[in-house]
Amino acid sequence: MELFKPEFGLAFWMFIAFLCLFGILAKWAWPFIIKSMEERADLIDKGVAYAQEAKSHLDNAKAEADKLLAEARNEQAEILREAAKMRNELIEKARGEAADEAKKVTDAAQVSLEQARKEAEKQLRSEVGDLALQIAEKVIRRNIASDDAQKALVDQYLSEVETKN
């Protein structure tokens, strides 16, 4: 059976051919091919990862924008509330101050009014005295009978005038 007897010549050439083929391919072809394929696979993986990241960024961006908007709204409301509070406080303070001022003014007016009244009283008294004196003179001119009795009478009248006021 010729088929089952390995032929030396054929084995020899097969060995040579295989070694040459292996030498050439292992030196110049396979490492380069393997490296290129792996690099490309890495590149594609990176590309996919990048795209996914970009997509998630995009999705996040909308959510983030919404969040920012909500935050801004909150802040706005806060500011408005603060402003209202401040306004109320200002008004309250102004009102208080105005009341104080008004009270002071009324007090001062009262004081001056009292003074004026006292002044007027005093003046009135001296004027009344003068008037009384004049009356008395007239009385005296008519009747200088009893001087003291007359004077007491005048005083009495004056006191009566005073209490009437």
Partner 1 sequence: MKKAIAAIIAVAVIVLMALGYAEAAHHSDGQMHEVNAQEIIFEHLGDSYGWEVPFSHSKRIPLPVIVRAQDGSWHAFMSCRLADGAQYDGFQIAQGGDYNNKVVQILPDGSQYRPVDLSITKNVAGILIAALVVLLVVFKIKNWYKKNGMKAPRRFTAALEVVVDFVYTDTIRPIMGKEAPKYGPYLLTVFFFILTMNLLGLIVIFPGGANLTGNLAVTAVLAVITFLVTNLTGTKHYWKEMFWPEVPTALKCPVPLMQIIELFGIFTKPIALMIRLFANMMGGHMVVIVFMLLIFIFGSMFGAAVGGGMTVLSVLLSLFMLILDTLVSFIQAYVFTILSTMFISMAHVHAHHE
The reply to whether 94 sits near partner 1 by the rule CB under 8 A is: no
Number of residues that bind partner 1 (CB under 8 A): 35
Contact string 41-80 vs partner 1 (x = CB under 8 A): x-x-------------------------------------
> Which residues, 6+ apart, have CB-to-CB distance to 140 below 8 Å?
147, 150
Do 147 and 140 contact (CB within 8 A), yes or no?
yes
Chain CA centroid to CA 31, Å: 70
Chain CA centroid to CA 91, Å: 16
Do 157 and 139 contact (CB within 8 A), yes or no?
no
User: Cβ 53 to partner 1, closest distance in Å?
Assistant: 20
Q: Measured from the CB atom, is 49 or 102 closer to partner 1?
A: 49
Which stretch, 23-31, 48-56, 139-147, 157-165, contacts partner 1 (CB under 8 A)? 23-31
Which stretch, 24-32, 104-112, 126-134, 157-165, contacts partner 1 (CB under 8 A)? 24-32
The reply to whether 84 sits near partner 1 by the rule CB under 8 A is: no
User: Cβ 48 to partner 1, closest distance in Å?
Assistant: 14
> Which residues, 6+ apart, have CB-to-CB distance to 40 below 8 Å?
none
Do 122 and 107 contact (CB within 8 A), yes or no?
no
